[in-house]
A and B are shown apart, each in its own frame.
Chain A
Amino acid sequence: MLSKRIIPCLDVREGRLTKGVKFRENVDIGDPVEAARAYYEQGADEIVFYDITASVEGRAILLDVVRKVAETIFIPFSVGGGIGSVEEMRRVILAGAEKVSVNTEAVKNPGIISEGARAFGSQCIVLGMDVKKVSASRQIPSGYEMAIHGGRTFTGLDALQWAIEAERLGAGEICLNSIDADGTKDGYELDLTAMISSHVGIPVIASGGAGKPEHLLDVFTRGKADAALIASMVHYRTHTIPEIKKFLHDRGVKTRMFW
């Protein structure tokens, strides 16, 4: 049976981590390649880079980072943030990323999902979703609304309907971020995750709210997630990946324990 995947997320800007990651002796590392190497060695199942660079120069630096990461780690990794065309996808994939994730770009132009899937296969295309809880209405029957531009703009799009549509268009995976849970460290949004995961046939990566290993246990059981994104809980060394994996393993969640 598949192991539940644990995926550290690194925010990159102009080729540097926006927040340092603390490793041995709690030294702050700003280099995404070194951070990726450290997480790879600690047993990360996959790594996500989210690039918040706007400038053209910054995008070129990103490709250089992707190339170096690909020479350093031998597990899948994905890159997202501002990828708006199949050509940009191609550059990131040829630089060595296994997957690309699209978010705002896919809401504005859903065709990019199907074009990307045709060009590189569905397994390369991750749909990123920023979702906020709202009161259920005729327009938003699930009670969860899609946001774009890093959660700043609301779209009037129902999150569940969008997830189902994206799967139909050829998305291979969904990275589901709860705006309400993000940054709280109070746990993932379990209802949202379980709802989306049980209505699509593609894997769902839960994101937003992880603060302790119990939160991952909850999202893999009640939340029905296939994978979970983690950030500050490992970046600041309040927890480590081996410790989280052991916690899950001891409670009957299948995780990759040997690396």
Chain B
Amino acid sequence: MIGIVDYRAGNLTSVARALEHLRQPCIMSNDFKSLEKADRIIFPGVGAAGAAMADLRRSGLEVHLKKWVREGRPVLGICLGMQVLFDRSEEDNTLCLGIVPGEVKRFPADLRDKDRPLKIPHMGWNGVRFRANHPVFSGISEEAEFYFVHSYYADLTDETWASGWTDYGIRFCVAVTRGSLVAVQFHPEKSGRPGLTLLANFCRWGGCDAQ
């Protein structure tokens, strides 16, 4: 059983639909007691970091998310669900979960590709260079692209957590892995077949890192 953390950060039903398509039973809940029964956790999210963290604190999920990661339960963070794992975010100047070392920063306003100004948010399909050998990213072609929509990016202070990178004016980390934790900036549930492969890999994964 997969538990989808529902903390009122956007519409999370698309993750549930993708899991249904993969025939993976799941529950969507904001109650840590219900999620406690799940053998793995997906932590999605769209929206603003400040409101998301406030809701995680209010519901008691903050403590339990940290506990699940510590205990080695497989956890997959997606988009805002990846960003709030960091120490802090420039968005609403938010103190976050502090599980991943680093800070979430806004894309610089003068982001450019050579002479061409780039639009923010970074929205659409972009390639990802994955570090080899992680089970959750196995079977995904190097040519695969993923669907992104975000205005803030993750800036790690310890690069050993990084497992995937993307270029958009700057090069930034879009996947982190450590132990039983995996988090991605893009939306696997909206990224066609490569995204479904990633989700299916996560559903099968025992939680031990290949490092």
List the A side residues contacting B144 at CB < 8 Å: 258
**Interface residue? B205 (CB, 8 A):** no
Are A96 and B14 in contact (CB-based, < 8 A)? yes
Which of B20, B144, B145, B193 has its CB near the most chain A CB atoms (within 10 A)? B145
Are A5 and B125 in contact (CB-based, < 8 A)? yes
Q: Given contacts A1-B126, A74-B190, A203-B124, are A257 and B143 in contact (CB under 8 A)? A: yes
Q: Given contacts A203-B123, A227-B124, are A3 and B13 in contact (CB under 8 A)? A: no
Write the nearest CB–CB distance from B140 to chain A, whole angstroms. 10
A interface footprint on B107-135 (CB within 8 Å = 1, 0 otherwise): 00000010000011111111000000000
Q: Given contacts A94-B11, A123-B46, A202-B119, are A74 and B189 in contact (CB under 8 A)? A: yes
Q: Given contacts A1-B113, A258-B141, A258-B144, are A98 and B190 in contact (CB under 8 A)? A: yes
In-complex Cβ contact of B143 among A74, A98, A201, A258 (8 A): A258
Write the nearest CB–CB distance from A165 to chain B, whole angstroms. 18
How big is chain B's contact interface, by range?
A: 35 or more
**Interface residues contributed by chain A, number (CB under 8 Å):** 30
Write the nearest CB–CB distance from B16 to chain A, whole angstroms. 10
In-complex Cβ contact of A74 among B18, B121, B122 (8 A): B18
List the A side residues contacting B11 at CB < 8 Å: 93-94, 120
Interface residues of B in 186-203 (CB under 8 A from A): 189-196
Considering the complex, give the chain B residue whose CB is closest to the CB of A40. Answer: B192
In-complex Cβ contact of A1 among B149, B167, B191 (8 A): B167
List the B side residues contacting A76 at CB < 8 Å: 147, 190
Write the nearest CB–CB distance from B112 to chain A, whole angstroms. 11
Which of A172, A226, A256 has its CB near the most chain B CB atoms (within 10 A)? A256
Write the nearest CB–CB distance from B166 to chain A, whole angstroms. 9
Considering the complex, give the chain B residue whose CB is closest to the CB of A4. Answer: B124
Which of A3, A94, A202, A259 has its CB near the most chain B CB atoms (within 10 A)? A259
Q: Given contacts A96-B17, A121-B47, are A5 and B119 in contact (CB under 8 A)? A: no
Q: Given contacts A121-B47, A123-B46, A226-B119, are A2 and B190 in contact (CB under 8 A)? A: no
A residues with CB within 8 A of B: 1-3, 5, 40, 45, 70-71, 74-76, 93-94, 96, 98, 120-123, 172-173, 201-203, 226-227, 256-259
Q: Other CB < 8 Å A-B pairs besides A71-B20, A74-B18, 4 of them?
A: A2-B122, A203-B123, A256-B145, A259-B193
Sample of 20 A–B contacts (CB below 8 Å): A1-B167, A2-B122, A3-B124, A3-B125, A70-B14, A71-B21, A74-B18, A74-B193, A74-B195, A75-B190, A94-B13, A98-B190, A120-B11, A121-B10, A121-B46, A172-B121, A203-B124, A256-B145, A258-B143, A259-B194
